[in-house]
Amino acid sequence: MSRPIILGIVGDSAAGKTTLTKGIAQILGTDNVTLICTDDYHRYDRQQRAEIGITALHPDCNHLDIMQQHLSLLRTGQPILKPVYSHKTGTFEPPQYIKPNKFVIIEGLLGYSTRAARECYDVRVYLAPPEDLRAKWKVKRDTQKRGYTPEQVLAELEKREPDSEQFIRPQRQWSDIVVSFYPPCDDHDEANGHLNVRLVLRPTIPHPDFTPIIKLTNDDSGSAIRLGLDRDMGKPVDVLEVDGHATLEQVNKLEHILCSDMPYLTNVCDRESNPELGKVAGTTGETLQSYPLALTQLIITYHMLKATQIYQ
């Protein structure tokens, strides 16, 4: 019997979880995807948190036991009655009945914090942008969408730092893929759509054979796409880097590797029929296509599809 395939997207506040999640859902077809944000499992509303002096990042501030129960129910295809936290009002709304689709994407702050929760995912992604970039993204989002002033956001970031260090960042070790978008060193304008990406690929899931990329790298050490070996949190990993200025020709070589193993992606890579691929908002709200984002979305989707072959 088939069961839903579960993807985790975990990372600190404003690390880019929603942008990545939305893009992947578009590729898989939004009708096939159930999106869950674990912020809904906050134990206290905004006012209570302020009174108690606890941040949303602390495990005690979240119903992690219920989140875990819900994850295992979703994994076996069963419905849940999910709490709803409104970022707009900082309070809870009536719960929602959710029946999982073929794919479930769970994004949030503490998704990998317990062993039982970690075991529910087929693919685990951790988002780790440089901290100064994350701060900029957080100021932008929280001032534009959540009614905060820049000063409030910066003060909040400082207040949360000890919890980020203790509870959020250690979860990186449990991921199959660590995604870090970062500005090229000669360009500090993070919103121009040309961020580079560094993907840490752990051997915990079967990655596509990227070795043809090594040849590319050896032929031309200045290549905009590079594959190498490194260590991450003490463990050996492969690292794939894609620069924002990579050309379509270079990107196509990598896409070819993915598509030859997963033909479904061939249609997805057709940019004319899929303008959503790698779509990102520029500084003035205009839409840009980012190759590093597109490739990240494709690689994660590849793993979701692979999991359907392995586990269904």
> For residue 273, with 0-12 CB atoms within 10 Å meaning exposed, 13-18 middle and 19 or more buried, which class applies?
exposed
100 vs 111, beta carbon nearer ligand G6P: 111
Residues 10-39 that bind ligand G6P (CB under 6 A): 13-14, 39
The reply on whether position 59 binds ligand G6P by CB under 6 A is no
One of 30, 52, 78, 87 touching ligand G6P (CB under 6 A) = 87
**Tokens read off for 140:** 């932008």
The reply on whether position 169 binds ligand G6P by CB under 6 A is no
**Tokens read off for 124:** 């685990």
- Could you tell me the smallest distance in angstroms from the CB atom of residue 31 to ligand G6P? 25
In whole angstroms, what separates CA 261 from the centre of its chain?
A: 23
- Could you tell me the smallest distance in angstroms from the CB atom of residue 105 to ligand G6P? 15
The reply on whether position 256 binds ligand G6P by CB under 6 A is no
| 3 state SS of 94 | strand
Residues 6+ apart with CB under 8 A from 181: 16, 129, 133, 195, 196, 197, 292, 293
φ/ψ of residue 177, rounded to 5? -135, 130
One of 3, 22, 32, 46 touching ligand G6P (CB under 6 A) = 46
162 vs 236, beta carbon nearer ligand G6P: 162
- Could you tell me the smallest distance in angstroms from the CB atom of residue 249 to ligand G6P? 38
> For residue 133, with 0-12 CB atoms within 10 Å meaning exposed, 13-18 middle and 19 or more buried, which class applies?
buried
Closest-CB residue for ligand G6P? 13
- Could you tell me the smallest distance in angstroms from the CB atom of residue 146 to ligand G6P? 6
- Could you tell me the smallest distance in angstroms from the CB atom of residue 192 to ligand G6P? 24
- Three-class DSSP labels, 243-266: CCCCCHHHHHHHHHHHHHHCCHHH
Sequence letter at residue 192? N
x-or-dash pattern for ligand G6P, window 136-165, by CB under 6 A?
----------x-------------------
| Interface residues toward ligand G6P, by CB under 6 A | 13-14, 39, 46, 56, 87, 90, 146
